[in-house]
Amino acid sequence: MFQVMRSAPVYDVVVIGSGAGGGTTTKVLTDLGVSVCLLEAGPMLNPARDFKEHMWPYQVPHRGAGDGGDSYFGRSANGFGYFSATFGNWELEGEPYTTAPGNQFKWFRSRIVGGRTNHYGRISLRFADYDLKSYTRDGIGTDWPISYEDISPYYDKAERFIGVTGSKEGIRSAPDGIFQKCPPPRVHEVLVQKSCQKLGIPCIPSRLAVITEETNGRPPCHYCAQCGRGCVSSSNYSSSQVQVFPALKSGKLNLITNAMARELITDDTGKVKAVSYIDKTTRTEQQVRCRAVVLAASACESARLLLNSKSPRHSNGLANSSGMVGRNLTDSVGFGLSGEVPALEGMMRHNSDGMGGMHVYIPWWLWDKKLDFPRGYHVEIGGGFGMPQVGSFGGVCRKHEGYGKSLKDAIYQDYGTHVGLSGRGEMIPNEHTFCAIDPNVVDKYGIPVLRFNFQWSEAELKQVEHMEQTFTSIIETMGGKVNGPRHPERASGADKISIGGMIIHEVGTVRMGDDPAKSALNKYSQSHDVKNLFVADGGSFVSNPDKNPTLTITALAWRAAEYLAEEMRKGNV
C-alpha cells in the first residue's frame, strides 16, 4: 500500500491547498519560472459543468430544498444550499473534527480546486495602518512584524490582478486601493446610506472582488447576483479560475487533485524534502519531493499538518519550537439584525440583482473613540427583490398566517421590504481558543484530527451589544421596524453572537512575528525553524481585524511567493 516514487521529479516548490493563498502562490511562482506541484484535497473544478449559475429553482425537482427536503430540517448536503458553489460543508463524511467539552466551534471546509474562493462573499478590505500595530495603540494582543507600508504594494498588485470595486474615500479605517467602478446602490441601500448620513455613520461603495471592466481577458460582471453559485464567466475572483487555470497553461505547474496532505518529511538538516499525501482515489500514500513547501491548506488545516509532522527532531510538531502552532485562533465576531421597511412597500418592481453582494457597506467609523470594547466592526447590508427560493417567504407565512388570497397579498406586499444588517468584528486572541491534535480520533485516511477549544471574551460580547444598538438605530431611522429575534429566548450577548468558526474567518494558528520564541513564522511568512517552509493562508495572521481576511491572504501570499523565489535564486532556500 505504501508507495514512494523514488524516481519522481523534485519540484522547486510544493504548494498545499489551492484556495486564495495557494492559488496566489502558484500563480506568482509559476510566473517567475519556478516549478510548482500543487496538491488539492478535492477534485478538479469544471465551472461550466459544476456551477449552478442562472439555474431556476424549478429546474430541479426539489427546488433547491435538497433531497428529502433537507433544508426544512436545517440540513444541507451543500453547505449553503443546493445552488451554492461550496463543494464542502460544516461536516465532511469521514473527515471529522472534535470540540473540547464545553466548547463550540464550526469548521467549514471546501474540497475542490479553488477551495472556498469559489463561493465566498468577495468582500475585499485592506487592513488599516493601525490594524497592524494594535498593541502599540491599545496594549491588547500583539503587533504585526510588518507595517501598512510593507503590505500596501501587495494590496496594489492583488487588487490590480483580481479586480476589486470601490471608490476613493480617504477614511483611515478603510484605506483606498486600486478600484474598479462600483455599480450604483439599490433602493434599500440608498435608504441605508441616508439613514447613516443622519446618524453620522459612513456608508460607502462596496469593495468586492467583482470586475466591472474587462480584466486580463475576463469579461465584466453581468449582474445576476449569483456570485455564491460560482461565476461561469469568471467575472469575480476565485483562485481556481483566476489563478490556477491560467497557471496550468504555464507549463510550470503540476496540479494533483484528490491529494490529502498527511505529513511533511524532513531531511537530516531539518529541512522539508518531501510531502506525504493520501491519494484519495486509490487510498494509497504517495510522496512528492521538493526544494521548498508552501502550506496554504487553510489556517487550521495547515496547523494540523504541522502538528502531525512529528519526528524525533520535531517532537512538538514541525516549525513549532515556539509552541504557537494551533494557538491564537480567532474568527470574526458575527451578529445580524433585520427589519421591515414600510417605505419600500408598494415600490415598482424592478431587477435589483446587481453584483452578488451589497453595493454599499459601512466601514468602522469609531476607531478614534473610547468605547467599552476594543477594536471595531464593519457592517454588511442585505435586501432587495431577490430570486424567490425555498424558505424566502417563511417569515411572512409565520407572521401573517392564514391562507388563500390574503396570504398571497401579504407575500406580494412583503417581498423586497426587508433590510438586513450583518456585523463582522474583530476578536482578540485568547488563551482559551486554539486547536490541537485530538489524541483519540483519526479521519478515514488515518490522519489524526483537530480538536477545537473556542471561547468568546467580554470584549466580543460587548461589541455585539454595540452592533445591536447601531443596527436598530439605522433601521428605525429609515422608518423600519426591527424584526423580532428568531430565537426570542436567546436574549443575552453570549447567545446573540455567532458560534466560533461560523463566519469562516478562522486565522492566526501559525502566526508571524519577529521573536522566534513567540511566533512560528517570520515577517515573510517563512518558518523561523525550517527555512524552506512557508505558510500562505490565514494561519500567519497576528490579529483578525474587522476586514474579511481573503484580500490580505492574497497580498501576503504574493509577498511570500516573491520572497521565496528570490531566496531560491540566491541559494538561501
Site for other proteins in 197-226 (CB under 8 A): 198, 221-226
Q: Rounded to an integer, what distance in angstroms lies between the CA atom of residue 116 and that of residue 8?
A: 30
What single string gives the DSSP state of each residue in 191-240?
A: HHHHHHHHHT---EE--BSB-SS-BTTBPPP--BS-GGG--TT--B--HI
Task: Check binding of 524 to other proteins (CB under 8 A).
Answer: no
Which grid coordinates are listed for 447? Answer: 490522519
Residue 411 lies near other proteins (rule: CB under 8 A): yes
Does position 63 interact with other proteins (CB under 8 A)? The reply is yes
Residues in 531-570 at the binding interface with other proteins, rule: CB under 8 A: none
Number of residues this chain uses to bind other proteins (CB under 8 A): 83
Residue 185 touches other proteins, criterion: CB under 8 A: yes
68 near other proteins, rule: CB under 8 A = yes
Task: Single out the residue of 29, 125, 162, 191 in contact with other proteins (rule: CB under 8 A).
Answer: 191
Q: Cell numbers 460580547 correspond to what residue? A: 461
| Closest distance of CB 210 from other proteins, Å | 11
Site for other proteins in 372-391 (CB under 8 A): 385-391
Contact characters 432-471, other proteins, x per CB under 8 A: ----------------------------------------
Considering the rule CB under 8 A, would residue 399 count as an interface residue with other proteins? no
- Does 90 sit near other proteins (CB under 8 A)? no
Set of cell numbers at residue 131:
490594524
**Dist CA 17 CA 367 (whole Å):** 35
Strands 259-266 and 333-340: unpaired
Q: Which of 9, 69, 153, 484 binds other proteins (CB under 8 A)?
A: 69
Q: Among residues 100, 343, 447, 449, which is the contact residue for other proteins, using CB under 8 A?
A: 343
> Residue 351 interacts with other proteins (CB under 8 A)?
yes
CB 332 within 8 A of CB 424: yes
Among 32, 397, 461, 482, binds other proteins (CB under 8 A): 397
Stretch that binds other proteins, among 3-11, 180-188, 298-306, 307-315 (CB under 8 A): 180-188
Which of 558, 3, 495, 13 is closest to 253 using CA atoms?
13
Residue 365 DSSP label? -
Q: Which of 153, 394, 446, 484 binds other proteins (CB under 8 A)?
A: 394
Secondary structure string (H, E, C) spanning 131-179: HHHHHHHHCCCCCCCCCHHHHHHHHHHHHHHHCCECCCCCECCECCCCC
Spatial CA neighbour of 240 closest among 332, 149, 117: 117
Told to check if 413 binds other proteins by CB under 8 A, we report no
- Burial of residue 231, with CB atoms counted within 10 A of its CB: 0-12 exposed, 13-18 middle, 19 or more buried: buried
Quick check: 347 binds other proteins (CB under 8 A)?
Answer: yes
392 lies in the binding site for other proteins (CB under 8 A):
yes
Nearer CB in complex with other proteins: 72/216: 72
- Pick from 168, 283, 313, 350 the residue near other proteins by CB under 8 A: 350
x-marked contacts with other proteins along 12-51 as a string, rule CB under 8 A: -------------------------------x--x--xx-
Helix-, strand-, coil-residue percentages of the chain, each rounded to 5: 30, 20, 50
